[in-house]
Structure 1
Amino acid sequence: MAKEYLESKYVEVTPSVELHYWEQGAGKPLVFIPGLTFSGEIFKAQIAHFSKAYRVIAIDPRGQGFSSKTADGNDYLTHGRDLHGLMTALDLHDAVLIGWSTGNLDAWSYVQQFGKDKLRGIVTIDMSPLPMSPDPTCWTEGSIEELSEVASQILSVPSGPRDFFSGYTTDIMIQRDVPAEELSYILDMSCRTPYWICKALFCDAMFCNFLETAQDLGANFPSLMFIAEHWADVAKPFVEEKLPGYDHHVMGGHLMFYEYPDTWNAVLEGFLDKL
């Protein structure tokens, strides 16, 4: 029987480094991984829904939410190792990894380093495994000039992440008008990550290349990719050409699971039912 309350917990994944996570329910595990600066709290609608049939775990990656803030390890190879530490400590098997945005990089990093033996599926939400490329046909996070400006100018000051995610939330992440109180809630969650960690993770993310890992998953493993509507004209052909075998679904903005939880949850349920 699923638990009726949401538990806030910590697990040591390497000496002196704890990951915070939210947990609810019982059964086969679903592990939700948020994007840059965010907490697993952003998945609260999914935790409430899927914990009726699954053991739902939503993590705060290193440097984010209530997890340890460290001077080193703010990169996605380390995030993959941290995820392995959590999976090992919690004795998770037959898990489905569900990453959002840079949380996809955590998931691909884990698979690249530790394989698929503890998994039964992977779900990635709205980010390419090749975030930066000079090839204009690739699905990337932006041009090299745009990404350079974010990294070297915007995120280099304490107010930078709040300024960046304020515009990103209203222009890219959520399609409807965002009330001031809701925007404040989202930004306060994001700003639990210090600006210098945000910059380090952003820079590392842009230079990640998990294309081969993602291609292997699409060809040999149950894989689902959600794509936001605003760049479907580039992302959908990229996934169809470079990631054959992925189920893919286009909907909403970058935070589609937050803005349209019922529709999004139904798509995920359909994928899980086939595993």
Structure 2
Amino acid sequence: MLEDGNYFQIEPNTEIYYIDKGKGIPLVFVPGWTFTSDVFQYQIDYYAKNYRVIAIDPRSYGRSTIVLHGNDYNTHVKDLIKLLDYLQLKNIILAGWSFGGLVTWGYIEQQGLSNVKALVNIDVTPKQISINEDAWVGGEIDEISNNYTYNMNSNRSLRNFMIPFTTEFMVERELSEEEVNKIIKHSVRTPYYITRELYASGMFSDKTKAAKLVDKSIASCMFISEPRASKAVPFMEKYFPNPKTFVLGRHMMFWEYPDKFNKLLDEFLENI
């Protein structure tokens, strides 16, 4: 796992951990709900050969400071803006996985497209909850309610939720206990009451406006996991037809199939 990172004081008594490697066009990776820069271990060194790679542990995630305020995705966007301004990055490529895509779309929502070269989002729909039958959503209402009410009401229940979430939703192959513990090691560091705030913030987010702006204006791509493809691919073709769409593996396909993922991402990046 990755430990050679830096810390940036985002506000008094609150630091954001980030990795900054390589030179060239900035490629910024934002992890999903409670996960950290570690999930991109197979992308960071690979892309640092040709890009300046930034990967973050957002507020209250992993090595960043756990705080009782700002645990929502609008604040995570503001934190990202502060960090990228501090690093003086220009002409950036944003890459967001899962709820990290709410942050990348949110960056565009708040900052516009003047400093964004391209957008890469991984297995995330811009609106998690919808009553439209053809919508790609983050889950069924009953499932979302059950997760919030019963699976995140203690640190123990959260860990018990994260294990099958990882083994059944994240990857295809069977994982050893050691692998599961490595994957969720930093995720379960975030206290359950903060994970609940972030879960609700993500599920009630709507980044449709930003997604439409991206669709019309800049190069973008979307990676979709195979179990979601039957709903997500037609949804993208109907409402957001311009992003390049790739279908691969499960939710954490970039970790499980890094060679395949990196090859597809290379294909996109070489043509922007």
TM-score, structure 2 as length reference: 0.96
Could you say which residue in structure 1 is the equivalent of 2:246?
249
Could you say which residue in structure 2 is the equivalent of 1:137?
134
Does the Cα contact within 8 Å between 1:32 and 1:99 map onto a contact in 2? Answer: yes
Deviation at 1:23, TM superposition (A): 2.0
Q: Pick the aligned partner of 2:219 from 193, 218, 222.
A: 222
Could you say which residue in structure 2 is the equivalent of 1:123?
120
Q: Pick the aligned partner of 2:210 from 208, 213, 219.
A: 213
CA–CA distance in structure 1, aligned partners of residues 158 and 108 of structure 2: 29
Per-residue Cα deviation, 1:201-232 (whole angstroms, up to 9, x for no partner): 00110000001110110111111100000010
The secondary structure found in structure 2 opposite 1:239 is helix
Q: Which amino acid aligns with 1:150?
A: N
The secondary structure found in structure 2 opposite 1:171 is helix
Q: Percent identity, please.
A: 38
Q: Is 2:39 the partner of 1:48?
A: no
CA–CA distance in structure 1, aligned partners of residues 150 and 75 of structure 2: 25
CA–CA distance in structure 2, aligned partners of residues 216 and 129 of structure 1: 12
CA–CA distance in structure 2, aligned partners of residues 6 and 171 of structure 1: 28
The secondary structure found in structure 1 opposite 2:53 is strand
Where does 1:100-119 land on structure 2 (aligned, <5 Å)?
100-119=97-116
The secondary structure found in structure 2 opposite 1:129 is coil
Does the Cα contact within 8 Å between 1:99 and 1:123 map onto a contact in 2? Answer: yes
Where does 1:1-275 land on structure 2 (aligned, <5 Å)?
7-275=4-272
CA–CA distance in structure 2, aligned partners of residues 72 and 267 of structure 1: 38
Deviation at 1:6, TM superposition (A): 7.1
Q: Which amino acid aligns with 1:202?
A: Y
Q: Which amino acid aligns with 2:82?
A: G
Deviation at 1:136, TM superposition (A): 2.9
CA–CA distance in structure 1, aligned partners of residues 11 and 114 of structure 2: 21
Q: Which runs of 5+ in 1 are unaligned?
A: none
Q: Which amino acid aligns with 1:221?
A: I
Q: Which runs of 5+ in 2 are unaligned?
A: none
CA–CA distance in structure 2, aligned partners of residues 114 and 17 of structure 1: 23
CA–CA distance in structure 2, aligned partners of residues 54 and 44 of structure 1: 15
